[in-house]
Amino acid sequence: MTENQTPNTPEAENASSKDTFAQFVEHQSKAVEAGLKAVETLLPPGFKDHAKVAGKEFAAGFKVLVDAAIEGIDKASKDIDEKMKASKRASAESTSDDAGFDRPSTTGPSKVKVQVE
């Protein structure tokens, strides 16, 4: 081995590949920045301002839509809760009044008649 060569140890190879990857990432980020600047020069001067306003209006529209959906769900949930409470109250009143004469049979659709001696 000559003095100019570095040993091929796993640590040296990892460091070399990390440096290579870091250089790759650096070049790619510079390329993206340059590409964005190129696209920016193609657009008219007021484009950024109008795009920002349009983005804010777009988000505001969805916020209104989501808020209305949340309101509707809350209202429907409250209506269901009230109906459930009313149903429970009616059920409790009917069981305490008559011995369940108004309720349907709980034996099911097929009844069997049994004779007892």
**Mean pLDDT, to the nearest integer, of 64-83?**
94
Residues in the chain: 117
Residue 8 has pLDDT above 80, yes or no: no
Higher pLDDT, 14 or 21: 21
Helix, strand, coil percentages (3-state) for the chain, rounded to 5, are 70, 0, 30
pLDDT tens digits, residue range 93-114? Answer: 766 555 545 555 566 667 777 7
